[in-house]
Amino acid sequence: MCKPGGVIRVVVPDLENIALLYLKYLEHVSLGERGMGYCYDWMLLELFDQFVRTRSGGDMSDFICSAPDEIWSFLESRTGLSLNSIENIKESRFTRLFRLCTSKSNLGKKLKYHIKRNISRTLLILLWGNRGGEISDEVIFRLQGENHKWMYDRFSLVRALEGAGFFKIAVCSENESRIEGWNRYCLDTEPDGSSYKPNSLYCEAEK
């Protein structure tokens, strides 16, 4: 909860930016321009995949892994991923689990979480078969908070914050903030100053 006088900073996908690019690439593919189909497909994923995905990364990660080299610069501009980051996206579930459980930080908590998760999944499989396992995976995935439940633009986000009782609301950039020394925390920017999540919508307000 934000204390009186505190600053809240909200960062969400920018619906306006996504919608404009979707319309742009829709026009390109409608005219039969070569090479635009991949960009069009990606903008559709930006619009919908974060709502409907039932596994981490969703169809976006599959798209990135299979994308041809010629559109990587486009994907890099949309996601902020480097070429090296694709290896993390390709990482299998087992490898990711092994890496998490063997890291030194919070080892006990991680092991406890995965043990509980596998026990609950096994019980649901015993009750409902493979469908039980699918239900368990989806419920646990959705509880992790990766899915977005709504999309905002610069008007609707300000209006939502006003409705929640905030004031002095301002749309800003990734490296602008009324929080003193914001950039040194590297939450919205990389250490080199580049955007961590390009094309996001940034907004600050006070309580």
pLDDT in tens, 2-11: 788 889 999 9
Residue 131's pLDDT band (cuts 50, 70, 90): confident
Using one digit for the tens of pLDDT, what is the confidence trace for 132-173? 877 777 777 777 778 888 999 999 999 999 999 999 999 999
Task: Map out the domains of the chain as residue ranges.
Answer: 7-89+148-206, 92-143
Q: Which pLDDT belongs to residue 47?
A: 95
* DSSP code per residue over 88-147: HHH--HHHHHHHHHHSSTTHHHHHHHHHHHHHHHHHHHHHHTHHHHHHHHHHHHHHTT-S
203 close to 16: Cβ distance less than 8 angstroms = no
Tokens of 125: 């499989």
pTM: 0.76
94 pLDDT above the threshold of 50: no
Residue 6: CB atoms within 10 Å: 12
**Type of residue numbered 102:** T
Helix, strand, coil % over all residues of the chain, rounded to 5 = 60, 10, 30
Q: Could you give the percent of the chain with pLDDT greater than 90?
A: 46
Between these two residues, 128 and 151, which has the higher pLDDT value? 151
Residue 24 clears pLDDT 60, i.e. is over it:
yes
Residue with tokens 């919608």: 19
